[in-house]
Amino acid sequence: MTASVNQALDSLIDLSRQHLELEPTPLDPELARPKSFLKVLDAEHFNWTSDQLRKLFAMRFHLKVPPLDQMNLIYYPNVNCSAPIFIFFCLLTKRKVIGHINVNCPFDDDAYRATWVQPLAEQLNQVASFDCADRYPEWMKKYRNECTVYGMFGRDRYEDLLACAQGYLNHYLEQLKAVPLETDPERIRQIQRFQAGFVEDIRTQDKAQSMMAKIIGKDKAKRIFHEVTT
């Protein structure tokens, strides 16, 4: 595992611990540290919960051939919390970095966007553009907003991507601590529907599952996406 990727993921988890009291969730060892057929994989998965989160998912992933380093973070709020689902994905190759940062929002009113989207869009406007020609996956378009970062970039944008993720996450965690619990039954139902749809998309549309299946087997990859990632 590239040291900088390890350190970056650790720093984001440490940032989360500064804001939230995270409780680790025990995982099946086969899913926590999956083994590959030819011993080309070094991977580790983590889950935590907190008062605000039903699950925080984190992953480190190092592939020897071809050489790839990857990290993922997904923050799933409790269903009585109106916060978005926060996601950060970063994959490093020898020459490129593929990144995705987003707040996936269950509501779209002006007040909600002013809290969760606009401050991140303002942060994004302060750095060199992440616009690129990469096609945004069709299934992800409904989650896209003004602060979404997605694409393949030169390795020289790696530090910029990390800085963006850290700035976004810091704002997200500050708001997550402060957001009041939902009591309106219809809003809670909308959060439940939104989160169920997001989870189903990750389980059925994310191409990473099929890539992982080639390395560790279809059944184990499916279990990871159903029991650990979501």
| Per-domain boundaries in the chain | 3-229
Query: Nearest to residue 226, comparing CAs of 201, 203, 197?
Result: 203
* pLDDT score, position 3: 55
Is the omega angle on the peptide bond into residue 67 within 30 degrees of 0, that is, cis?
no
Burial environment of residue 142 by CB neighbours within 10 A (0 to 12, 13 to 18, 19 or more): exposed
The reported pLDDT for the residue numbered 49 is: 98
| CA atoms of 54 and 37, how far apart (whole Å) | 32
pLDDT at 72: 96
In this prediction, the residues of the chain whose per-residue pLDDT falls under 70 are 1-3, 37-38
Q: Where are the alpha helices (DSSP H) in 74-207?
A: 110-116, 118-124, 158-178, 185-205
Check residue 38 and give its pLDDT: 66
pLDDT tens for each residue of 33-80: 988 766 777 889 999 999 999 999 999 988 787 888 999 999 999 999
pLDDT, position 209: 87
> Rounded to two decimals, what is the model's pTM?
0.95
CATH topology of domain 3-229: oxygen-dependent coproporphyrinogen oxidase (3.40.1500)
pLDDT at 198: 98
